[in-house]
Amino acid sequence: MYPVSLDVNGKTVSAEVDARTSLLDLLRETLGMPGSKKGCDHGQCGACTVIVNGVRINSCLSLAVSHDGDAVTTVEGLADGESLSPLQKAFVSHDAFQCGYCTPGQLCSATALLDEIKRGEPSVVTDGKVTLNEEEIRERMSGNLCRCGAYNNIVDAILSVAGEPA
Amino acid sequence: MNQQDSRKWIGQPLDRVDGPAKVTGQATYAADYRGNSPAAIGFIVEAGIGKGRIVSIDTRAAEASDGVLLVLTHQNAPEQAPFGSHDDAGRFGQSHAVLENENVKYHGAPVAFVVAETLEQARHAAHLVSVRYDQQPGVFDAEAHEDKATKPDSLDGADQADKEVGHFEPAFEKSAVTVEAEYHTPSQHASAMEPHATVAEWSDGKLTVHMAVQIIADARKGFANTLKIEPGDVRIVSPFIGGGFGSKLGIHNEAILAALAARELDRPVRVAQTRRNLFANGPHRTAHRHRLKLGADADGRLQAVSHDSLAVMSRGYPFAEAAGGLTQSSYAAEAIRMSHRIVEANVPKVDSMRAPGEAIGTLVFESAIDELAERCGIDPIEFRLLNEPETEPGSGKSFSTRPLARCLREGAAKFGWQSGVVRPGMKRDGRWLIGHGVAAAIRPNNIEPAGAEASLARDGRLTLSLDMTDIGTGTYTILGQIAAETLGMDTGAVEVRLGDSDFVETCGSGGSFGAGSTGTAVQQACDSIRTDILARAARIDPDWSGVNSADLTIDGDRVSVGDRSLALGDILDAVGGEAFRAKSHIKPGDAHKTMAQYSYGALFAEVGVDADTAEIRLRRLLGVFDAGRILNHKTAHSQLMGGMIFGIGAGLLEESLMDMRYGAFMNRDLAEYHIAVNRDVPRLEVHMLEGFDEHSNPLGSKGIGELGICGTGPAIANAVYDATGHRARKFPIHIEDVLPAVARLTKGNAASR
Ligand code: FES
Ligand code: FES
């Protein structure tokens, strides 16, 4: 077992982890935060997406021991107390989910995506300047599968938030 | 919105009431449940052969491994009722015994179950279990064993496996124009984002299961019948389900394994199937061969229609899909025939996947119709309109409603359909060959028996309790709307409690019957409360007798009709009691027997096919649907879109490929089983006709969850034909299938340049 200490949603937490434990299982099993979901455990669905030091990753593909000292944001940490983040609100009002299982990952992905755009990070569909548009969103959200097929509403929710002053 | 309108909740596009829980990670799915004592974690060891016998199984290394608590195999598994017994309980309620004996039923079936303190330990130890097999030749492929094909005893979604109306052969013989073609549709896995998961715990001989399941009452029977206990000793809890699409109608291997191990260890056991597990330990839609023969007269009137299907059935698990069922209801013809044949095979459970029957049936049938229209020299929409039936062709029954023509016409106008005979390869946008396609969607409308319980407290808060599930279908929200409208109250004062076998039994979620059936039960329970309030109020104040119950409203803790008003508490105090309570139980009405009831749609697709690579991109997809009265426009819209996206998968992406030497599915993960991702999906247009089918149920609604998938795949296939001249004979459509047609077109163009 190996000690790790990390910041999760603004709180410092410490745990002893098995070297084989993924960041996802650290969150779900050891830290009692099952909000992040496991859809495949193989980096193929995005349900486990969390934000680590400002960048989204598939937490199932990353070993917990490699995150000592990191700052992690999960779906449980997106709201400000009782008040939902603009993206969370937009997901509800645009019906950007049905079963909701992919939603924690979609939300973390979308939250990080907005920062990627601000930082000017290009994607494969970027043509010149990086701007937020439907095609960029579809491309950048394609690592987050949604079997219920909420894709169009997810795109609309993200667009609606991007239109708001940050 | 004025005061009066605000009481009309049914249909309103309300946000999901479970939305906030779902966007904050507070919705607890099965694998998220944490009980009072920590659960041990289970991991399935799968059979590495498709058929044969376990000669020896060595679990010593696994048992000695760190943290391991138990290794179950057929040698030490507790006694269960034989798999399939109690078949009168239906295939979901029958025994689902696991680890029964040394015989391997299918590739990937559990041969051992390792339980340890942690997932890492269980997974590691699972790899230490060593199994030696005596492998035997198995039956995996229906076509290779067609000589063993039989007629299934029953068919899911149709009353007869074989049926002929009129005389097919002579009608086909005399047809001036014919299409005769063989199609293949693939095996598919529902691939809900939430893998099947179960947490089982025992206390005093009673089992409590937190699991992902669509129909709670059947699951309860399934556990009881497998474990030889009373259904009353099983409690199932399933408040949130991460998608079902048929795959969670019943219970699956992980559920029974968890229950067995939890009893052995006297400790809760949790197991989530891995994504890989699911391809064998969950159900799948099996591959079908379809033979279609269609004949029309010279004017394009259908004379003869036949659909013969062949597929495997999982040995000992009676399920066969009514692939040809919709020949009975789609278009008028002098003679209609369908037949279904199955081959019992050593394959994992074959079962329902979203729109069983129609999803694959429309794929091939609506493709063939398009082909016949072309051969008749008629626009595909005109052709369908020309063959609209007066009554259901297969049964002669009247349709409860038949708005297909309207869906087609309105869709054509909205899509900008250019009518005329399909002439492939005529539209171009730069390097893209453009094609347009249309198809009809049709899906039976069912109502199933369901109950509901409602309780109105003195403070004016209403609680609904029923064992219904919300699998993403919006059930929590819709039932609240129906209740609030019936009692003239605010939706905010309604609490909907679902997903618990302690509540009244319903039909659960499946076959698009959930909302209509349980919604009607909720409406009836609330209607009883309304009547009860008025009867009691009249005893206090005679001025209340004879008032119209439909005018009743509840505001806070007061009930009013017109200018009469009383506190609910005063009524209760006067007659005694703590709350107004009512239970209801509904059954399908006679009109479900005497009339043909369907939901309808028309789908329009535009594809672009790359003139060099034959890459197919869906550019537009539009659907016009009629599912009777819409209960919530927001969630209904989402369900239809979700169904259409499933249809994109059926047309272009999804197939589970089996290695026929071993009976093993090969592409057992989400990198190789392709479902549509965000960028595969264009902006979808969904239009819902405002209907009301009085024959369906008192709400006027019809099933909607499966409708979108029917029709989308064939609309895409027909668009691919329009773009390239390639007629799809197998699905999903691959680039390499289309390339020859594209090459012919581009060569032709080069020559004429
Ligand atoms: S669970 Fe991590 S990508 Fe699927
Ligand atoms: S909402 Fe169900 S998978 Fe996305």
Alpha carbon of B543: minimum distance to chain A alpha carbons (Å)? 44
Query: Above 60 in pLDDT, residue B752?
Result: no
- Interchain contact, A154 vs B20, CB within 8 Å: no
Task: Give domain B30-137+219-228+242-273's CATH number out of 2.60.40.1840, 3.20.20.120, 3.90.1300.10, 3.90.1170.50.
Answer: 3.90.1170.50
Secondary structure (DSSP) of B686-724:
EEE-----TTT-TT-B---TTTTTTTHHHHHHHHHHHHH
Q: Number of C-alpha atoms within 13 angstroms, CB side, residue B71?
A: 26
- Catalytic residue positions of B, numbered: 706
Alpha-helix residue ranges (DSSP H) falling in B117-166: 119-126
Give pLDDT tens digits for B587-630. 999 999 999 999 999 999 999 999 999 999 999 999 999 999 99
- Percentage, residues of chain B above pLDDT 90: 96
Give pLDDT tens digits for A33-92. 999 999 999 999 999 999 999 999 999 999 999 999 999 999 999 999 999 999 999 999
- If contacts are CB pairs under 8 Å, which of residues 63-122 in chain A contact chain B? 74-76, 78-79, 84, 88, 91-93, 95, 97-104, 107
* E strand or H helix that includes residue B450: strand B450-457
Task: Give domain B5-26+447-587's CATH number out of 3.30.750.80, 3.30.70.360, 3.30.365.10, 3.10.129.10.
Answer: 3.30.365.10
In terms of Cα–Cα distance, which of A74, A49, A70 is closest to A140?
Answer: A49
Over range B400-427, report the average pLDDT: 96
Note whether A145 contacts B: Cβ–Cβ < 8 A. yes
Q: What is the pLDDT of residue B6?
A: 53
- Give the amino acid at A126: T
As beta bridge partners, residue B180 has B293
ipTM: 0.98
Q: Report the C-alpha gap between B445 and B515 in whole angstroms.
A: 11
Q: Report the C-alpha gap between B75 and B72 in whole angstroms.
A: 8
φ, ψ for residue B345, nearest 5 deg: -140, 160
Residue A147 Cβ contacting ligand 2 at under 6 Å:
yes
Query: Token pair of B587, please?
Result: 């059954």
Helical packing angle, B514-540 and B475-486, nearest 10°: 30
Q: Are strands B302-314 and B335-345 parallel, antiparallel or unpaired?
A: parallel
Q: Cα dist. B627→B483, B514, B710, B738 in Å?
A: 21, 14, 13, 35
CA B193 to chain centre: 14
B279 Cα to the center of ligand 2, angstroms: 19
Residue B725 has what DSSP assignment? -
Over range B507-533, report the average pLDDT: 95
Q: Cα dist. B125→A132, B80, B92, B122, B468 in Å?
A: 48, 25, 31, 5, 38
Secondary structure (DSSP) of B642-674:
HHHHHHHIIIII--B-EETTTTEES--STTTS-
Q: What is the pLDDT of residue B49?
A: 98
pTM: 0.97
**Burial of residue B725 (number of CB atoms within 10 Å: 0-12, 13-18, 19+):** buried
- Interchain contact, B243 vs A99, CB within 8 Å: yes
The position carrying tokens 């974690």 is B41
Neighbours of B413 (CB within 10 A): 10
What domains are there in chain A, each with its CATH number? Answer: 2-77 (3.10.20.30), 86-161 (1.10.150.120)
Residue A45 Cβ contacting ligand 2 at under 6 Å:
no
Q: What is the pLDDT of residue B690?
A: 85
The position carrying tokens 């942690």 is B118
- Could you name the CATH architecture of B377-444+593-752? 2-Layer Sandwich (3.30)
Contact (Cβ atoms closer than 8 angstroms) between residue B41 and residue B118: yes
Q: Report the C-alpha gap between B483 and B489 in whole angstroms.
A: 8
Over range B336-353, report the average pLDDT: 98
Residues in chain A: 166
Q: How would residue B128 be classed by pLDDT, with cut points 50, 70 and 90?
A: very high
Domain B377-444+593-752 in the same topology as domain B5-26+447-587: yes
Q: How would residue B4 be classed by pLDDT, with cut points 50, 70 and 90?
A: very low
Give pLDDT tens digits for B571-598. 999 888 899 999 999 999 999 999 999 9
Give pLDDT tens digits for B265-280. 999 999 999 999 999 9
Neighbours of B209 (CB within 10 A): 27
- Give the amino acid at B144: A
Q: What residues contact B203, with CB distance under 8 A and at least 6 apart? A: none
Nearest CB partner across the interface for B638, out of A37, A98, A103: A98
Per-chain mean pLDDT for chain B: 96
- If contacts are CB pairs under 8 Å, which of residues 546-605 in chain B contact chain A? none
Nearest CB partner across the interface for B193, out of A35, A141, A147: A147
Please provide the distance, in angstroms rounded to a whole number, between the alpha carbons at the two ends of chain B.
63
Query: Token pair of B708, please?
Result: 């979108």
What is the tally of helices (H) and strands (E) in chain B?
A: 18, 31
Give pLDDT tens digits for B667-707. 999 999 999 999 999 999 999 998 999 999 999 999 999 99
Q: What is chain A's percent helix, strand, coil content, to nearest 5?
A: 35, 15, 45
Q: What is the pLDDT of residue B751?
A: 53
Domain ranges of chain B: 5-26+447-587, 30-137+219-228+242-273, 377-444+593-752
Q: What residues contact A74, with CB distance under 8 A and at least 6 apart? A: A8, A9, A27, A33, A35, A36, A50, A51, A104, A108, B25
Q: How would residue B416 be classed by pLDDT, with cut points 50, 70 and 90?
A: very high
